[in-house]
Amino acid sequence: MILCFLASRGIHTIRWIKAFADMGHEVHLITFDRPYPIDDIIIHGLEYRFKFAYLLRTFDIRRMIEKINPDILHAMYISHYGIYAAFSGFHPVIMSVLGSDILISPERSFIYRTSLQIALNKADIVHIADEVGKKTLIELGCNPEIIFVQEWGVDVEKFSPEAKNQSFKKELGINSCYSVLCASSWKINYNVDVLVRAIPLVTKTIPNVRFIFLGGGELENYLKSLANKLDVSKNTIFIGKVPYDKMPMFLASVDVFVDTVSDYAYFFGRIIKRKGGMGIGQTTREAMACGTPQILPDHSSINHSIFRGLTYRQLDHTDLAEKIVYLLQNQELKKKISEESRQVIVEVCNQKRVAKRWHNIYKKMMQRKH
C-alpha cells in the first residue's frame, strides 16, 4: 500500500508510521515541521516564512497528495492537519484525535469549532483512544458510525521492566534512594509546578527522595527558581529533553511516574475546562509497560481508561504529595499496580497487534476505494 500521513514529525508520530514502513509499505509524511531524513519514510516538508499561509498550504497539500496518489490519507490532530486533509478533497481519509484538538480548540472560537466540524464531516474514519472521547466527538456532531476507538500502541519489548538499569540509577544518583519521575513539558498548561510544590511535603515524611524532571520548555528558570525558593533543589534533577531511545531506561529505573496535565488549560488570558476524552498520554502508557507505578490527576476520563495507578485531585499539590508518600511506603500496592499496568498494556496496547489491526483497516479502505 501507499500510505500518506499528514502530521507533525513528533517522536510518537514517527514511531507509529515507521511501523508500517517496516511492514514494507510505501510511507509518506507531509508535515509543516522542519523535515529531516528518516529511514524508509519519504518526508515532504512544507515550511513557510509567514505564519498564516492557509490558502498556500491547502493548495500545496492538494498538489502533493495528487502527486503521491496514496491509497490512504491519515491526518493526525484534527483541528490542524485534519482540516487541511478535509479541504484536500481526497478519500478515503482517516483522522486521529490527539487530545486538545477536540478538547480545547472548539472552545477557542466559533471559527475553530466550525472548521473542526467540517473536518469531522469529511472524514471516512475518526480515530480516538477512549470511549469518553467518543462521546465528545458525537457532541461535536461526528457520525458515531465512523468513530473507531483504539488505544495507541506501545513497543512492549523496548518499554519493559527489563529496561531497568542499575548502573544508570547510580549515574543519576538514585541507586540508594526513592525516585519520582515527571516527563511533562515545562510549559504553562502542563502544571509541572504542582509537583515541585509537592516536594517539600513529601520530604517531610520521606527525606530520601529524588524528583527527576524531563521534558524541557520555557518555564525552566521559573521551575528551578521555585525549587530554590522551597529549599528542595537538593531533591530535584532537572534534565530536560532526552533522546527517545533512553526513555525506556528512565521509566523503568524509577519508583514512581507522575503526570501533571489537568482538565484545565490557560488560553489567551482565560482558563478553559477541557471536555471529557483526554484519556492518558503516551508516556503514561510507556511507564505502564515498564511496570512503573503511576500517579495521575483525576481528570474526567481517567476512570474510563486502561489506567491502573493512583489519582490525585487536579492541581492540588497537597493531595499529590500524600499520594506519593502513600505509594512509596506501600510496597504491596506498588507491586500490584506494576503487574496490572504491564499486563493491560501487553493485552491492549501491544504495538505489533495494534499496527496489525490498523493494517487491516487500511487494507479494507483501500479495497473499497478500488
Query: Collapsing DSSP states into helix, strand and coil, what is residue 273?
Result: strand
Every domain of the chain and the residues it spans: 2-152+350-369, 161-348
CA distance 243 to 245: 5
Which of 200-204, 213-217, 267-271, 362-366 is the least confident region? 267-271
Q: What is the pTM of this model?
A: 0.90
Same topology between domain 2-152+350-369 and domain 161-348: yes
CA distance 22 to 40: 8
By CB atoms closer than 10 A (0-12, 13-18, 19+), residue 316 is middle
What confidence tens digit (pLDDT) does each residue in 318-342 have? 999 999 999 999 999 999 999 999 9
Which of 85-89, 134-138, 190-194, 312-316 is the least confident region? 134-138
pLDDT at 111: 72
pLDDT reading at 290 higher than 70: yes
pLDDT reading at 142 higher than 70: yes
Alpha-carbon torsion 316, 322, 328, 334, what sign? negative
CA distance 97 to 170: 39
Which amino acid does the sequence have at 282?
Answer: Q
Which of 39-53, 81-95, 217-231, 243-257 is the least confident region? 39-53
CATH code for the domain defined by 161-348 = 3.40.50.2000
Q: Per the structure block, which three cell numbers stand in for 108?
A: 477557542
Q: What is the mean pLDDT of the chain?
A: 89
User: Cβ atoms within 10 A of the Cβ of 301, count?
Assistant: 23
Provide the 8-state DSSP code for 154: B
pLDDT reading at 268 higher than 70: no
pLDDT at 69: 94
CATH 3.40.50.2000 fits 2-152+350-369, yes or no: yes
Instruction: Tell me the CA distances in angstroms from 227 to 195, 223, 237, one per residue in order.
Output: 10, 6, 10
Which of 90-99, 221-230, 274-283, 330-339 is the least confident region? 274-283
Calculate mean pLDDT across residues 254-274. Answer: 76
CA distance 90 to 2: 14
